[in-house]
């Protein structure tokens, strides 16, 4: 194979674009795709201060590297979920990247805020860890962005993540989620920061190739609580289809985004208000995270534990 751009020996094949690139040209391709996605949805501008959520994995670290190289003003945020061993290794990779590049990194710990780790909250409230994790992380993304004066929150969700989520929402006809699924979620309240996904057209394999070429040290392991998750099943199914018909994933997502208006009616108008306890935006008097922590606290009080549920 020859590089599509310079005709040197290719090292990375991008089958869904019927192309291949050498290491240098692939980096340019990756950066151009990220820049195109940012501009296509007007996610942010060079003057904005972006809060990038990082996990220590290849996707978020590759995005961090790309945004720095593209000249954006970025501060990374690592959320310590308190998952034994895994959280520490994840944070180490983020700190390693920050030290190597001189890029700013903030950390926040669920245990320090609420006195409980994500696994502990899940156990005490008898909920699936992934469900608790997602809710708490979204809460902290917004809280940290507001308190830090950031204009936008970016995450490292890639094409594989997006189409797996899309497939799951379609299979279960989660019309409310379908109405809101897009690479750009604008702010709909003064206390809600807009959220963006600059990697939404880049595959997991492309993010891996970029990380390897850039010699980014990342954590290769999955979260131990992700085992058996339906999203992994959806990804495997889509990978089989993609192998037989390259470009299916990208076509699937772009087709959905093109016809997304079909689901507009399911994005019902809701009254947004501030939580009476923590002040974060909610549709009810008390937000879901405060209610979650209250249940965990009651469980502790029955067992004699001493957790700190304050925000």
With CA atoms as reference, report the closest residue to 194 among 145, 157, 148: 145
Q: Could you write out the DSSP letters of every residue in 154-206?
A: E----HHHHHHHHHHHHHTT-HHHHHH-SSEE---STT--EEE-TTTTS-HHH
Report residue 306's pLDDT band, with 50, 70 and 90 as the boundaries: very low
- Model pLDDT, residue 307: 42
Task: State residue 42 phi and psi, 5-degree precision.
Answer: 50, 50
pLDDT(96) > 80: yes
**Tens-place pLDDT, residues 163-195:** 999 999 999 999 989 999 999 999 999 999 999
pLDDT(269) > 80: no
pTM: 0.93
pLDDT(236) > 80: yes
Q: Check residues 264 and 77 and name the one with the higher pLDDT.
A: 77
| Mean per-residue pLDDT over the chain, rounded | 93
Region 240-260: mean pLDDT is 96
Report residue 228's pLDDT band, with 50, 70 and 90 as the boundaries: confident
List, in order of start, the domains of the chain with CATH numbers: 28-267 (3.40.50.620)
Least reliable range by pLDDT among 30-39, 94-103, 219-228, 296-305: 296-305
Region 297-310: mean pLDDT is 56
pLDDT(301) > 90: no
Region 226-243: mean pLDDT is 91
């Amino acid at each position: 194979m020859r590089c599509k751009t310079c005709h040197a020996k290719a090292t990375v094949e991008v089958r869904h674009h019927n192309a291949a690139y050498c290491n240098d040209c692939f980096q340019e391709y990756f950066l151009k795709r990220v820049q195109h996605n940012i501009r296509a949805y007007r996610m942010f501008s060079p003057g904005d201060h972006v809060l990038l959520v990082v996990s220590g994995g290849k996707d978020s670290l590759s995005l961090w590297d790309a945004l720095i190289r593209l000249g954006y003003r970025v501060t990374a945020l690592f959320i310590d979920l308190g998952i034994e061993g895994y959280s520490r290794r994840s944070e180490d990779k983020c700190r390693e990247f920050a030290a190597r590049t001189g890029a700013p990194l903030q950390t926040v710990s669920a245990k320090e805020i609420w006195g409980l780790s994500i696994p502990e909250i899940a156990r005490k409230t008898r909920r699936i860890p992934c469900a608790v994790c997602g809710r708490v992380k979204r809460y902290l993304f917004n809280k940290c962005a507001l308190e830090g004066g950031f204009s936008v929150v970016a995450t490292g969700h890639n094409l594989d993540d997006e189409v797996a989520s899309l497939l799951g929402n379609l299979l279960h006809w989660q019309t409310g989620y379908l109405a809101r699924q897009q690479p750009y979620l604008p702010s709909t309240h003064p206390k809600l920061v807009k959220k963006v996904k600059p990697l939404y057209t880049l595959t997991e394999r492309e993010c891996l190739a970029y990380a390897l070429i850039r010699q980014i040290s990342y954590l290769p392991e999955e979260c131990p609580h992700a085992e058996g998750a339906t999203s992994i099943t959806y990804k495997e199914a889509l990978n089989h289809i993609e192998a037989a018909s390259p470009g299916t994933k990208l076509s699937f997502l772009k087709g959905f985004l093109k016809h997304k208006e079909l689901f507009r009616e399911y994005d019902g108008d809701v009254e947004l208000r501030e939580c009476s306890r923590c002040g974060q935006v909610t549709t009810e008097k008390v937000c879901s995270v405060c209610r979650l922590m209250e249940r965990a606290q009651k469980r502790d009080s029955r067992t004699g534990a001493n957790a700190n549920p304050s925000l």
